[in-house]
Amino acid sequence: MKGPAGEASEVVPCMSVRDASVGYGSKRVLEHFNVDIVPGSVVCLLGPNGVGKTTLFKSILGLQPMLGGSVTLDGEDALKMPRRDFARKVAYVPQAHQAPFAFYVRDVVAVGRSSHVGMFSRPGAADYEIVEEVLDELGIGKLAGRVYTELSGGERQMVLIARALAQQPEYLFMDEPTSNLDFGNQVSLVRLAKELAHDRGLGVVMTTHNPNHLFMCEGTGVLILPHSRYLYGTADEILTDGNMREAYGIRVDIMDVDTGVGYEKTCVPVL
């Protein structure tokens, strides 16, 4: 798009959080927080329990009121956007949970089409086609006819990711997606996050309790420290012995591990 004077005024696609203050009521948990989420990359949000990761997450997503600051989505004020428009750009993956009713997986994923289906209308054949496509892409097409409440935690987490992708968003927020998963599924999930960013061009944000996920996904990291401080940068920049001690109060060694095909960095807690 060109401005009247011919100068380029193209909006760079980006979700920017500026000077955000989040908390409950008058209690501010985290203040003056800034982050940019760029399509095609992964942002890992790390930090000890109680520093406000979840609160920050929900505030950015507009699920609870922000106490100050702004969120802009491709140049627009995201906090004033109708939920429907916001949901077409930003999807949220909650932690795997139990649903109150025994929906088929297909119907759970179809709910992700809500922002594309009129208020008084119901999903059509095209919507269900998108549902099947998303399930196939994630390699869980065979779950479509299964009952959601009878799936394992890992399968339920994948279904919730499928539901978010059915929204056809540009940004994907995942709240501790690895917390209920076994060791193998955790690694698969981090790989999936990376693929969604690099192959599908999504801006992926995930919270995690495992700092190694940041090394693995090769993205940027945000390490939230107590007392409203945070660090922003690549894995090598923020995952240092000193920072980890400050964040978690324990001694952590950062080591290079020879995997045979190269060196991988990893955090090793020292007891």
Binding residues (CB under 8 A) for other proteins: these are 58, 61-63, 82-88, 90-92, 94, 98-104, 106-107, 110-112, 114-117, 119-123, 128, 144-145, 147, 149-150, 163, 167
**In contact, 265 and 234? CB cutoff 8 Å:** no
Shortest Å distance, C-beta 197 to other proteins: 19
Q: Give whichever of 105 and 214 is closer to other proteins, judged by the CB atom.
A: 105
**In contact, 132 and 82? CB cutoff 8 Å:** no
Q: Give whichever of 173 and 215 is closer to other proteins, judged by the CB atom.
A: 173
Q: Give whichever of 54 and 243 is closer to other proteins, judged by the CB atom.
A: 54
**In contact, 234 and 43? CB cutoff 8 Å:** no
DSSP code at position 184 = H
Shortest Å distance, C-beta 187 to other proteins: 26
Shortest Å distance, C-beta 50 to other proteins: 20
Q: Give whichever of 12 and 99 is closer to other proteins, judged by the CB atom.
A: 99
Shortest Å distance, C-beta 74 to other proteins: 17
**In contact, 176 and 95? CB cutoff 8 Å:** yes
DSSP string, 8-58: B-PPPP-EEEEEEEEEETTEEEEEEEEEEE-TT-EEEEE--TTSSHHHHHH
